[in-house]
Chain A
Amino acid sequence: AQSVTQPDIHITVSEGASLELRCNYSYGATPYLFWYVQSPGQGLQLLLKYFSGDTLVQGIKGFEAEFKRSQSSFNLRKPSVHWSDAAEYFCAVGLWNFNKFYFGSGTKLNVKP
């Protein structure tokens, strides 16, 4: 069965520090991969997506993610975190041929001043 694992439930970083959020997936082929962000009380906003090609993808708000096939991972990174980045982040897998998207359990990011 397909699954998406985000091993870190909560992460706290200081403002200005770098950030890496981990995501691993389990699927027989290379799926389509996404990172979404959810601010409190809001819906989900797409940060970035990977379908094929260059394994390092750039997104909005200064985020980037790297697809590593050998590790079945799609980790999200940001070189310098801002207080406004405090939110919950979800990794997702898209299975186009089945019209489905599967989500990880999320990582809550807290930013210390």
Chain B
Amino acid sequence: NAGVTQTPKFQVLKTGQSMTLQCAQDMNHNSMYWYRQDPGMGLRLIYYSASEGTTDKGEVPNGYNVSRLNKREFSLRLESAAPSQTSVYFCASSEDRMNTEAFFGQGTRLTVV
């Protein structure tokens, strides 16, 4: 089982460039999430999507946009990258019920120079 797949695994951007991080899950989950992980700060929620066609802001949405393309895919876009967006980005998904956990991808390490 592939689970949650993120691409790319590594990326270096120049300040001001744009890029899209891709995420796909094959577990038929309704809910999907984007987190960023920074040293000493754990994982912070950027955006989430409770179902296809819906997205909501998390704790740190500024500078990001998302698209829930279909039930499987949830992309994260940086329109104009800034050094403060250097981070490791994780996509996750979960079922839409009470006793469930989030399943994570392997992460994308993004460096903005």
Q: Which A positions have Cβ atoms within 8 angstroms of B?
A: 4, 6, 9, 32, 34, 36, 41-46, 49, 51, 90, 92, 94, 96, 99-106
Contacts and interface: CB of A to CB of B under 8 A. Distances in A.
A51 B42 contact: no
Contacts of B102: 34, 92, 94, 101
Interface stretch (B61-69, B76-84, B93-101): B93-101
A88 B42 CA distance: 10
Contacts of B35: 103
Nearest to A34: B101
Given A43-B106, A90-B43, A103-B44, 15 more contacts: A9-B40, A41-B107, A43-B104, A43-B105, A44-B104, A45-B104, A49-B99, A99-B31, A99-B96, A100-B58, A101-B92, A101-B102, A103-B43, A104-B42, A105-B41
B99 A51 contact: yes
A42 B101 contact: no
A106 B41 CA distance: 8
A43 B90 contact: yes
Contacts of A34: 101-102
A52 B96 CA distance: 18
Contacts of B40: 9, 105-106
B50 interface: yes
What band does the interface of chain B fall in when counting residues whose beta carbon is under 8 Å from A? 20 to 34
Interface of B: 4, 31, 33, 35, 40-45, 48, 50, 58, 90, 92, 94, 96-107
Nearest to B51: A99
Nearest to A4: B42
B91 to A, nearest CB: 9
Contacts of B42: 4, 6, 90, 103-106
Contacts of A41: 107
B31 to A, nearest CB: 5
A1 to B, nearest CB: 10
Given A9-B40, A90-B42, A99-B31, A43 B107 contact: yes
25 contacts: A4-B42, A32-B99, A36-B104, A43-B90, A44-B43, A44-B92, A45-B104, A46-B101, A46-B103, A49-B101, A90-B42, A94-B101, A94-B102, A96-B100, A99-B31, A99-B50, A99-B94, A100-B45, A100-B48, A101-B33, A101-B45, A101-B102, A103-B44, A104-B42, A105-B41
